[in-house]
Structure 1
């Protein structure tokens, strides 16, 4: 259950407080709000419709998904004008009437002339992912790889991002929310929704989902590794909401837990190390961030590769820490610029020009070049001053 507020006064009910409508499970803080909603809030007319839709949670998810799809379609309007869906070959979805989106690297990467656009309807992407995973469950096949279709483009093999990812994550959640808490797809869908909301800048909503997921995972007796994954996502939401000390403390614990559980040559450990380093840089603890990244970047290069998103982000954040440290030398700033020039080119080639990783690199590179230019002017002034004194 993700609905955690009273439908009338929005009081936070957590996962168990208050009461529910006996017919449709809409949540209230108490009988007064329930009566008010029935008599003056229109619930009498809505109750049957919500129940037919599958209950309050399903009804809420359907509405939120439609809203998220509309936002994504509007955001992608210029990019998709005159195009058709690569799955159904229609411009407008025949059943939902929705428009097109594109939130991957297809047609957006330097030096790539595949002709693939990645333009589709969110409903088509969702149906494609559902069919693949239903087939796996029916035939007792591994879900790994198939589940990726909920967040990764099948053409360019890069993750969706921003409002498109958010819309697809709502589609995923509404598909699996009726499953028992112990079912793997339900937990994975809840995790995906939390990440998708955060990716679209809906940080408070992401936090609410992730807190509900953590409580659910603990209730269901999830493994230590799964709990660490949820805590890592929760820490990102803390960070996005400006709760930097809480975020850093949790990221430190997640990194320590991953290291103990899986060793350093593990994707989860490497991701946790990068997240912890990011939190340290935002707290201006640059020396600690540099030390951690200096140790883990060679591991990432060995275990993953130079073009993996984790490796690129590690090198990006190492360069930022080099450049922003008040103790940085001129050589440090030059190294930061050289590193960012290299990683920005790779990010553009792999993820495309509009991906947040690419645009983040560009911004950091501009800042580093400006810092280097200022240092060069300062060095020239010092040299001229010394010459005049001589």
Structure 2
């Protein structure tokens, strides 16, 4: 459930959880720097070998382990707060979206009660919007993602990774509603920024290229040239995703599925245009 290949890709989940707990305990006991503590905290959701985030049931299991480790702390404790975030993410990764939504909403309520800053609240709201999409509440997801995108753009500027991720989610919300022409503007505007700031290998950039291609070939009135451009974009994006994340990663699998659909649409259009 990461990008490790061969025997390096196997480990006991309980060992991963215990390693993360021990590293964080040492960091807190020795009052290590925030940078070191942040790096060690990553072990709760990111592989120490390939540096890719876990996904699927492994992410869910580690989310539960993290929550059980820190749930006894006060609400103001940062570790407890972030553990709640990881639990919601893990539940979603394993397909338990209704449960994830319950956790997400409880987290946002807690953050508001504690007087969290606007950026922190936007992150929590973004997680809820993503889960809304997964449970079929698409219009609610669109409205929330629109607000998040424009607020991040104003607060953080267009080059911040949170703003770029919000642009992705905003475009995806239109795709989910099959409003393909409306998906194009935010994606077209931010894709060059993502490629420049984050690079071609970043997940946000890959998703933005994928969503842009999907909006292009699904749109009413898509030309033969549009279909060919979409296929070429998806082929390039799939190769990068496979190299960076591996063939079993959900991102790679989803791009492959979109590529098959785009190729089928292209073949059908070419057949009728002869």
The TM-score normalised by the length of structure 1 is 0.68
User: Number of matched residues?
Assistant: 271
Q: Is the 8 Å Cα contact of residues 118 and 155 (structure 1) preserved in structure 2?
A: no
2:213 corresponds to which of 319, 322, 329: 319
| Higher share of residues assigned helix | 2
Shift of 1:361: 0.6
Residue in 2 that maps onto 1:104: 2
The CA distance in 2 between the partners of 1:155 and 1:118, in whole Å, is 9
**Is the aligned partner of 1:335 residue 2:226?**
no
Shift of 1:131: 1.6
Point out where structure 2 has 5 or more consecutive residues left out of the alignment.
none
What is the alpha-carbon root mean square deviation over aligned residues?
1.0
Q: Secondary structure at the match of 1:146?
A: helix
Residue in 1 that maps onto 2:17: 126
Q: Secondary structure at the match of 1:144?
A: helix
Shift of 1:145: 1.8
**Is the aligned partner of 1:361 residue 2:252?**
no
Point out where structure 1 has 5 or more consecutive residues left out of the alignment.
1-102, 108-114, 381-390
The CA distance in 2 between the partners of 1:307 and 1:116, in whole Å, is 25
Residue in 2 that maps onto 1:137: 28
The CA distance in 2 between the partners of 1:144 and 1:251, in whole Å, is 27
**Is the aligned partner of 1:200 residue 2:94?**
yes
Higher Rg of the two aligned structures: 1
The CA distance in 1 between the partners of 2:116 and 2:267, in whole Å, is 52
The CA distance in 2 between the partners of 1:116 and 1:137, in whole Å, is 32
Runs of 4+ deviating beyond 6 Å: none
**Is the aligned partner of 1:304 residue 2:195?**
no
Deviations 1:101-143 (A, max 9, x none): xx11100xxxxxxx65231111110111112222222232212
Q: Is the 8 Å Cα contact of residues 118 and 153 (structure 1) preserved in structure 2?
A: no
**Is the aligned partner of 1:225 residue 2:119?**
yes
Residue in 1 that maps onto 2:75: 181
Shift of 1:167: 0.6
Write the mapping of 1:1-390 to structure 2, written as runs, cut at 5 A: 103-107=1-5, 117-140=8-31, 141-142=33-34, 143-380=37-274
Deviations 1:214-268 (A, max 9, x none): 1111111111111000000000111000000000111111111111111111011
